[in-house]
Structure 1
């Protein structure tokens, strides 16, 4: 009986530590070609080179998981794809979305050249930014312009394509992340795009079908935070600016807070979307962006998301981990937690997303090994995990007593009410 009890306690300990459950796993990526003859021909001609395919971004809509595969190298047959979440296969093949023809490299009007991340909204639309690029770093070519593509997920039809204006980008522009905010209607929608290497933030209004660009020094990298150590690899990404973004729940003012940080940085920044949605503010909003504290050492992050309760999740690529912060508490490393960590399975957790059932989804893809070294395709390289959010934050600093944040405006600043009637603004400065 004592041995059974000990075994039970050991199992309980393992379960409590390993909160994220592995759902899919691939040694390398394959696709649902129309038939085997076409697949063989793609392999023979180099149109499909399995070893060059790296999944990067994910999104969830109903029973579909969307997966992006950027065209960094030759042999990527499709950049925007999906799989069935209910697939009985552990390593299902990717199906191009919405079809093969729409994933043609260099077909600027009708195709997608390279997609990094995408966002499904509450109006059942999929927002997809096509960077129009092929290659990475010094090998990058731009056969097509940056263009936002929006698909109706119920019909799988593209309902809008919007090309960024020349003044939205510059010669260094590289955009990998997108955040989408809905107003009171589906028409009243805005998308935000982080220009990592051009150091800008682009805003797009669906209703007005126009875009504008913000510039700020908070978008630039921290020269002291450009050194990375991941899975035994040491390298420098010192030029990497604004990257990951997340949107807070809507405040009583009808807007949200956009949290962001450069990749080469350990610090978080924030701005109200009331500022971002006002195109006249692009030259007069310096003091409406605010700096928060640092997350602590080894806290580079590329992706983040915030759930409807205001809990932010973010990948910690140096730590092979996923972190959390409850936005009802002050932003500092004492209020940051680790919801899961694995030095094998979570090497470079590239994307994090929340579905409509309050589950967190995480993809890990060993990106740093892919770019800086090599992958061993005899072992598992790419994984997708999920877990209910309440399970993830249980017994962490992100699990706080139930109380509702109250947002209000004072001298154009935004504040939240927290326990013990202690007030501080969301930027971490005590009022009294």
Structure 2
């Protein structure tokens, strides 16, 4: 009996461990779409348009539908925002345009032109941030934020032309405070003409009064680090000159009081109180309110905070996703060595963006070899990176998105604080100890009885 319970304890421990181990959710040699017209599908392949398509952003709704963005930095005419669709007839996962092929039509300002960052709120509405550029050409009226219902109906639209520059703005990512009715956006400020200077900034949208302001333009906290040359797998990104990208990764604390952000070309994390941003005007000087938290081991692309008050961030130079518990906007408490890897793999080349599956308490990650894609060195016929070019990973983290309310110690008895499997494991171990003790006592008593009988 004791052996059986011990075996059960081992199985429980193994189950708990394997549940938190990262796994490859999907992998692609190249991206294909749910074309309804076979002629169009054939043209897409014959013209090798798939070589212009790279997955980037990822989010998951409450039905566990997975959405992925494909920014049109090289073209990719079928669609820029998609939902993954598994086609049983061909045993492949395809990209299904959202809201439709027509809703992704190039050179139509009302349609999505190039989406990198997007968010799905707790009501499954999709907030798509449109960069308004296709193949490095600005589309008039293209820079915008569209809000869609889960069935693809356009609910709201924000024109960002008054707070962006067609030739300079590179709208990167966003976070949503649905309670306070604010949205925060990073503009990396990458100019179309690379001989021009960068103009990065943060953008704040007040959803209640629809006011939009651009803040911290060219502040040190949003500018790239001129001394950093990002290196991946011992190779410099961009052989001729360092990659220069301003404010990129952005994360909002679950209490919605702190905004975290970092330039891509930087190993420094910054923070600012959202109250300062919410009352700012375009003339406000906010530099004194920026908190320089410190060094974070690697240049990062995507950042995300969680319901448990944790931060997850991509580490481009380490082929990893890092984790820090109890992130706070306090530079004195910020320690680079508390970041620990939750995913680390040679197949995790350029971990780009992060998204929670709140139902499964999983973190999804897109790894897309961005530096190789932009350099045109990806082999779409015989992938050089493992057995595929693009990977979507997932890892069980027992955590949910920052969009959920924070979990605090006063919330009491939540399974997120002490998982069910851990309770079962503790009970099993206690039972094993008790049974071993009972058996030991019984054996002792029997031995003593035999000794008395012999005497």
Tell me the TM-score normalised to structure 1 length. Answer: 0.78
Larger of the two Rg values belongs to structure:
2
Change (3 A) 1:189 1:37: same
- The separation in 2 between residues aligned to 1:90 and 1:37, in whole angstroms, is 21
Aligned to 2:432: none
Residue 293 of structure 1 and its aligned partner are, at CA, apart by 1.5
For residues 296-330 of structure 1, the C-alpha deviation after alignment (integer angstroms, 9 at most, x for no partner) is 3xx00010111101111111111111001112573
Partner of residue 257, structure 2: 256
Higher share in strand: 1
Distance in 2 between residues matched to 1:351 and 1:90, nearest whole Å: 26
Contact 2:251–2:303, Cα closer than 8 Å, also in 1? yes
Contact 1:347/1:365 (8 A) holds in 2: yes
**Aligned counterpart for 1:164 among listed residues 149, 160, 165:** 160
- Taking a change above 3 Å as real, the CA distance of residues 88 and 60 of structure 1, as seen in their structure-2 partners, is farther
Counterpart check, 1:100 vs 2:96: no
SS in structure 2 at match of 1:116? strand
Shift of 1:123: 3.0
Q: Distance in 2 between matches of 1:85 and 1:366?
A: 23
Instruction: State the match for 2:249 in structure 1.
Output: 244
Paired residue for 2:65? 64
Query: In the superposition, relative to structure 1, how do residues 63 and 355 fare at CA in structure 2: closer, same or farther (>3 Å)?
Result: closer
Question: Quick one: which of 136, 146, 151 aligns to 2:148?
Answer: 151
Report the equivalent of 1:189. 181
Structure 1 residue 12 displacement after superposition: 6.4
TM-score normalised over the length of structure 2: 0.75
**5+ unaligned residues in a row in structure 1: which ranges?**
393-401, 406-432
1:107 Cα deviation after fit: 0.2
Q: Conserved in 2, the CA contact under 8 Å of 1:63 and 1:85?
A: no
CA–CA separation in structure 1 for the residues paired with 2:89 and 2:21: 21
Q: Which deviates more from structure 2 when the two are superposed, residues 169-178 or residues 112-121?
A: 169-178
SS at match of 1:354: strand
Q: How does 1:283-432 map to 2 (within 5 A)?
A: 283-296=284-297, 299-328=298-327, 330-343=333-346, 345-357=347-359, 358-377=361-380, 378=382, 379-390=387-398, 403=409
Moved >6 Å (runs of 4+):
15-18, 85-90
- Per-residue deviation, 1:134: 1.2
> Matches of residues 272-287 of structure 1 in structure 2 within 5 Å?
272-280=273-281, 282-287=283-288
Distance 2:90 2:177 in 1: 34
Identify the range of structure 1 (283-292 vs 256-265) with the bigger mean alpha-carbon deviation: 283-292
Deviations 1:382-421 (A, max 9, x none): 11111211499xxxxxxxxx9579xxxxxxxxxxxxxxxx
- C-alpha contact (below 8 Å) 1:241/1:264 kept by paired residues: yes
Higher relative contact order (CA 8 A, sep 6+): 2
Unmatched tracts of structure 2, length 5 or more: 1-6, 190-198, 401-407, 412-455
The alignment covers a number of residue pairs equal to 370
CA RMSD, Structure 1 to Structure 2 (Å): 3.0
Write 1 or 2 for the structure with the bigger share of helix. 2
Displacement, 1:267? 0.9
CA gap 1:391/1:189 in 2 versus in 1, 3 angstroms: closer
Cα distance in structure 1, aligned partners of 2:282 and 2:144: 23
